[in-house]
Amino acid sequence: MAPPPPKAELDAAFSELYKAHLRDVYSYAYYRVGNHHDAEDLTEQTFLQAYRHFERAQQESQGRPLRPWLIRIAHNLAANYYRDRSRRPQTNIDDAGALSTPHTTEGLVQDRDDLARILRGVQQLPDDRREALIMRFALDMDNREIARALGRSDGATKVLIHRAIRQLEDIVAADANGGRPD
């Protein structure tokens, strides 16, 4: 068995991991909790926990990317957040910053309405389907990474994403028709 790498080497490798995946972990956290403050806290907690277990994760990954492992940590911490959130005040996702790209008023209103319907629909999905869509579309993770992050097979993940998209389409269509399905 090889001796463990020196602490400076581990710290440098972790620093690279942090720089490479900070945006993804924060984005995932933000889509899960819906406000910047809690997303920042969740991101910080994710990397603190990752740092504690980094050496073992490196050894066990056998050269595979560690992004799914980080997202899995964030996923577990977000689940804890949701268990505890009844004790915390929440910020509405509508309080996110304004769009910086100019649009026509009509287009902006339509886009905002569509986005609001989609976000409401995503919140109505079961947790596993919501998680899979966030990872796929917000983080641009491929099915294999999502499978690793969720602890599922590639095939089960593909089916999960397909069903999540179909269910979201149905929810958004019903919302657009005043609660009536097409």
Residue ranges covered by each domain of the chain: 1-85, 105-182
Q: What is the pLDDT of residue 166?
A: 92
30 close to 38: Cβ distance less than 8 angstroms: no
Q: How many other C-beta atoms are found inside a 10 Å radius of the C-beta of residue 113?
A: 12
Intrachain domains 1-85 and 105-182 with the same fold: no
- What pTM did the predictor assign? 0.62
17 close to 54: Cβ distance less than 8 angstroms: yes
Count of positions (residues) in the chain:
182
- The single-letter code of the amino acid at 54 is F
Q: How many other C-beta atoms are found inside a 10 Å radius of the C-beta of residue 34?
A: 18
For domain 1-85, give its CATH number from 1.10.1760, 1.20.1050, 1.10.1740, 1.10.287: 1.10.1740
Q: Cα(54)–Cα(66) distance, rounded to whole angstroms?
A: 10
Q: Cα(122)–Cα(172) distance, rounded to whole angstroms?
A: 9
**What is the widest separation between alpha-carbon atoms in the chain?**
65
- The single-letter code of the amino acid at 20 is A
Q: How many CA atoms lie within 13 A of 94 on its CB side?
A: 5
Q: What is the pLDDT of residue 156?
A: 93
**The domain 105-182: what is its CATH number?**
1.10.10.10
Q: What is the pLDDT of residue 116?
A: 74
C-alpha 98, offset from chain centre: 21
C-alpha 55, offset from chain centre: 24
Q: What is the pLDDT of residue 159?
A: 93
pLDDT in tens, the chain (182 residues): 556 668 888 888 899 999 999 999 999 998 888 888 888 999 999 999 999 999 889 888 888 889 999 999 999 898 887 666 555 445 554 554 554 455 455 555 566 777 777 878 888 889 889 989 888 888 888 889 999 888 899 999 999 999 999 998 898 888 877 765 55
Q: What is the pLDDT of residue 11?
A: 87
Residue 110 token pair: 């339509």
